[in-house]
Amino acid sequence: MSTPGWPRELVAARLHVVTGKGGTGKTTVAAALALALATGGRRTLLVEVEGRQGIGRAFDTAPLPYVERKIAVAPGGGEVRALAVDAEAALLEYFEMFYHLGVAGRTLRRMGAVEFATTLAPGLRDVLLTGKVKECVTRCGKDGRHVYDAVVLDAPPTGRVVKFLDVTRAMADLAKAGPIHTQSEGVVRLVHSAATAVHLVTVLEDLPVTETLDTVTELDAADLRVGAVIVNRRRPRRLPERAGVATRVTTAKLRTGLAAAGVALADDVLDGLVVEANEHGERMQVEATALTKLTDGPVEPLPRLDLPEIADGMDLGELYELAELLVEQGVQVRPVSRSAPR
Amino acid sequence: MSPTRRPPRLDLDTVLDDPGVRIIVCCGAGGVGKTTTAAALAVRAAERGRRTVVLTIDPARRLAQALGLKMLGNEPRAVVGVGGSNGQRSGELHAMMLDTRRTFDEMVYTHSTPQAAAKVIANPFYQTISSSFAGTQEYMAMEKLGQLASTGDWDLIVVDTPPSRSALDFLDAPRRLSSFLDGRMIRLLAAPARVGSRGLRRIVGAGFGLFARAVSTIIGGALLADASSFVQAFDTMFGGFRERATATYRLLRSPGTAFVVVASPEPDALREAAYFVDRLAGEQMPLAGLIYNRTHPVLAKLPASRALDGVQAAEAAGRAPGAKLAAAVLQLHADRVALADRERRLLGRFTHAHPEVAVAQVPGVAGDVADLDGLREIGRRLGEQRAVPEPVPARG
């Protein structure tokens, strides 16, 4: 089953990269997406890479360590695990694995030597972070099946995301052989495959929409697959419209309507209501223009999911509400077949 | 709900008019309207009679156009059509966009002989450091601020800060880059046996040699060699760099500086703002207050419950003229009360932890800022903002 907002290709994707301009609610949407994909008995992993601890805050828990752990239960018995990947820890992990560094590793980290090494080659950080993500996506359990039905990556914002995912470019900085090189080749294969989709979160304003469209072009040029555009914080259209334009509210028109309903209000209240209503009308105009730009911009229309502004909920309740709305719009993942439910 | 503690009001016009305030730094999470706020404050200051320069980092195209900035320019240019007078002085506005690479080049030339500078700039590793090293933009923004301040040409410098991973990066960037450039680490990695102090080797033992070898296996010998010769060439100018960074840090702590933290009504933006406030206090840097940006204050004194009753009555009135419109307007008001409530709760969490921080609440404009009049309007809202409003009583 697929929908226009979540076509069949996205049902088959296993790595969902979520990006967006700062302030559009990228982390919240990534968390809601992980919950939505876990709905109905799936297991998903939500990963953050920028050391901002946004996921821990979104789920109202303590900061995430460099360990995958269960962070939420999804409707219908699914589970979401979360992981904060950090480049230095990932580099140490490599050193442990391949060079048996032992306790010296921790001392070196305290000295700043590990941080220094990761900043020496700017591409190295990205290679380490995406490498860990790839390991999570492809990891299999004892039964030989993938451990996660889907992995959701709360990625860097639109300005940096293509550079972040385009590991080929980063690899130019690094030695042409060795374990990190081998793993990076795996990352390149994964992010350019049908298993990966990059979703873009935006709000209906000129600037975020422009950045979204620019990023779509950049992703195409880098041969990375664009998934869905997720329009966040949409306001309900309340005012009567003529030809798509909200009616301009005047005190006289409003007074007539209120009189018909038998509602009597003081003049200053009436004036305030008129200003509020017309501000909403202008805002709707801005949203409509931005939506037209978003729909007409790309050569091929992009799958689109809509999420409303939620005024009364906050934190965890809001996340579950958003996840449910995503599921209603068709968001799902093809489950990894497992021999027995665990 | 416990009685809402009202934060003190941040009076931005007083800050803009205070001749003792020479620098205003706008900081906050990405996407909260920092750049626009910086530009609007600068326009307002100029029209209130101050000779003002605004340093923007990567402004949106339309904002750049509004300021008459067509391209990156590393020197301020006058903005035509902005100015005013406070009776004694006539203000003007100049604007610039930060050019990170050029600022870095200039710094290298300032602190070195032409030959040594040319050698550094030609090193492939320098290209990397000056363009893509995390923190370079932050560092250069602070360097440019230092330069602008040292000319003595300006009554007021308004600075925007880069959209960092964390809003705090620009405070740490000079120190981070300094520790990178001071050469100790690179010497350890390039020739650990010769340079590593005996004490250090005793601590990490053979681990360090292993580590150095592992690093060079990963990043390749060529890059390490470039980095090493870069740091060597850089050695002579390092003292000058560090001095500048220290001077700018002192400038930020001086009483002539005012930090304003910008946050939108979103949990993340406010958390970031709270971290920032703590950090500034820790560094003893002068905070003017919080700009609570793009809010939706309730404009009609009508409780949501009564508005919703009215919606029902208007819907019952069916096809009577204006009834549909009345229902929509009353529903919008109920939405707005809920939104304003959320915004107040979010701010309440911040104020609860930081009751001493002054707050300016700035209602959002519906459209995008496309010209100087748009900036003037935001400036007006910044200057004339009301105190945080009382909640509308649930029953009235």
- Partners of B214 on chain A (C-beta within 8 Å) are 95, 98-99, 101
Q: Take residue B168 and report the two structure tokens written for it.
A: 């705090």
Residue B90 dihedral angles phi and psi, to the nearest 5°? -105, 135
Query: Which string of DSSP letters, residue by residue, matches B41-100?
Result: HHHHHHHTT-EEEEEESS--HHHHHHTT--S-EEEEEEEEEEEEE-SS-EEEEEEEE--H
Distance of CA B196 to the CA centre of its chain: 39
Convert the pLDDT of each residue in A204-246 to its tens digit: 998 899 999 999 999 999 999 999 999 999 988 899 888 778 8
- pLDDT number for residue B72: 60
Q: Are B180 and A280 a contacting pair at CB < 8 A? A: no
Minimal Cα distance from B215: which residue of A? A117
Kindly list the structural domains of chain A, giving each domain's residue range(s) and its CATH number in brackets, ordered by start.
8-238+301-328 (3.40.50.300)
**Look-up of token digits 């460099």:** A66
Q: Are B329 and A273 a contacting pair at CB < 8 A? A: yes
Chain B closest-CA separation from residue A59 CA (Å): 12
Chain B closest-CA separation from residue A311 CA (Å): 5
Angle between helix B136-151 and B100-110 (nearest 10)? 60
**What distance in Å separates the CA atoms of residue A208 and residue A206, rounded to the nearest whole number?**
6
Chain B closest-CA separation from residue A90 CA (Å): 13
Angle between helix A122-138 and A87-99 (nearest 10)? 70
Minimal Cα distance from B311: which residue of A? A261
Convert the pLDDT of each residue in B58-91 to its tens digit: 777 778 888 877 766 788 999 988 887 766 778 9
Of A24, A176, A263, Cβ closest to residue B310: A263
Chain B closest-CA separation from residue A230 CA (Å): 17
For a pLDDT cut of 90, what percent of chain B falls above it?
45
A16 closest CA partner among A197, A214, A203: A197
- Partners of A207 on chain B (C-beta within 8 Å) are 60, 368
Q: Which residues contact A225 (CB under 8 A, 6 or more apart)?
A: A9, A192, A194, A196, A197, A198, A219
Q: What pTM, to 2 d.p., does this model score? A: 0.88
- Taking CB atoms and an 8 Å cut-off, how many pairs form between chains A and B? 239
Q: Are B268 and A271 a contacting pair at CB < 8 A? A: no
- pLDDT number for residue B394: 47
Of A175, A205, A314, Cβ closest to residue B218: A175
Convert the pLDDT of each residue in A134-163 to its tens digit: 999 999 999 889 999 999 999 999 988 998
- pLDDT number for residue B197: 52
- pLDDT number for residue B382: 93
Q: Which ipTM value was assigned to this complex?
A: 0.86
Total residue length of chain A: 342
Distance of CA B244 to the CA centre of its chain: 21
- pLDDT number for residue B36: 92
Q: Is the pLDDT of residue B364 over 60?
A: yes
Sign for the CA dihedral angle at A45, A49, A50, A52 comes to: positive
Kindly list the structural domains of chain B, giving each domain's residue range(s) and its CATH number in brackets, ordered by start.
12-305+327-383 (3.40.50.300)
- Partners of A239 on chain B (C-beta within 8 Å) are 325, 328-329, 332
- pLDDT number for residue A312: 60
Q: Is the pLDDT of residue B105 over 80?
A: yes
Q: Are B300 and A95 a contacting pair at CB < 8 A? A: no
- Partners of B62 on chain A (C-beta within 8 Å) are 206
Q: Take residue B153 and report the two structure tokens written for it.
A: 């040409």
- Partners of B215 on chain A (C-beta within 8 Å) are 117, 120
Gyration radius (Cα) of chain B, Å = 26
Query: Which string of DSSP letters, residue by residue, matches B278-304?
Result: HHHHHTT--EEEEEEEEE----S---H
Minimal Cα distance from B326: which residue of A? A257
**Look-up of token digits 């000058």:** B240
